[in-house]
Amino acid sequence: MENQNPWLSIWTSPRATIARIVAENPNRSLWLLASIYGFCSLMNLYQSMALGAMLNTLGILVLAVVLAPLWGWISFTVWSFFVSFVGKWFKGQATFSAVRASYAWSCVPIVLNIPLWLLMVFIFGHQLFLNFDNSEMLSNGQILFLFAILGIKVILAVWSFVIYLNALAEVQKFSILRSFVNIVVAGIIFLVLFFALWSLLAYAFGGVATSTYLILKPF
């Protein structure tokens, strides 16, 4: 195991791989992994936002590449904070860096999403970032291709999650079940806080917008 490439061994031996990484350097390849995750995450976000209505395809790709490292690092850090915090309730033994490493390295399968995204951009072009508004123009072959891509992404996501369960269990010295509970509880707390903050911001900015409208209405 010592001579194996962690980018390969993490797929089938997540526990031994993450144990070696954490022992040597828990921040190993952190920014590269953040860039990979960040790029794929931003591409998903841009597609769901139909960003193609504002930017051309090249602009979208450049924006994703530029923001990917920081976006990925923030995502890793914020999520791992919640997992590490909740893990302490269950007597988790990992440091924050080890918890973050377990999540970062579980994202290795996501690297295969990059060529999938580039292939979709090549085939569908700008329409990909317009939520296929003209979906009637898609051929049966293109629709079948999209479902195939979706299937591959689901498989990669499941594999990534299995790696994460095992890697987190290893660094926290948990069972798989306790590792799963750690993730679920952290996810619930994160979502509750996220939607609470979102509601407060929406209320605040909505109130400002309403007040501005009432002030300017007489004019």
**pLDDT tens, residue by residue, 178-195:** 999 999 999 999 999 999
Taking CB atoms within 8 Å and a gap of at least 24, the contacts of 48-54 are: 48/131, 50/129, 50/130, 50/131, 50/133, 51/129, 52/126, 52/127, 52/128, 52/129, 52/130, 53/130
**pLDDT tens, residue by residue, 86-120:** 999 999 999 999 999 999 999 999 999 999 999 99
pTM for the predicted model, two decimal places: 0.87
Task: For the chain, list the strands marked E by DSSP.
Answer: none
Per-residue DSSP letters for 5-40?
-HHHHHHH-HHHHHHHHHHH-TTTTHHHHHHHHHHH
Across 192-216, average pLDDT: 70
Domain boundaries, the chain: 6-216
pLDDT of the residue at 215 = 45
Which residues, 6+ apart, have CB-to-CB distance to 35 below 8 Å?
68, 69, 72
**pLDDT tens, residue by residue, 6-45:** 999 999 999 999 999 999 999 999 999 999 999 999 999 9
Q: To the nearest whole number, what is the mean pLDDT of the chain?
A: 90
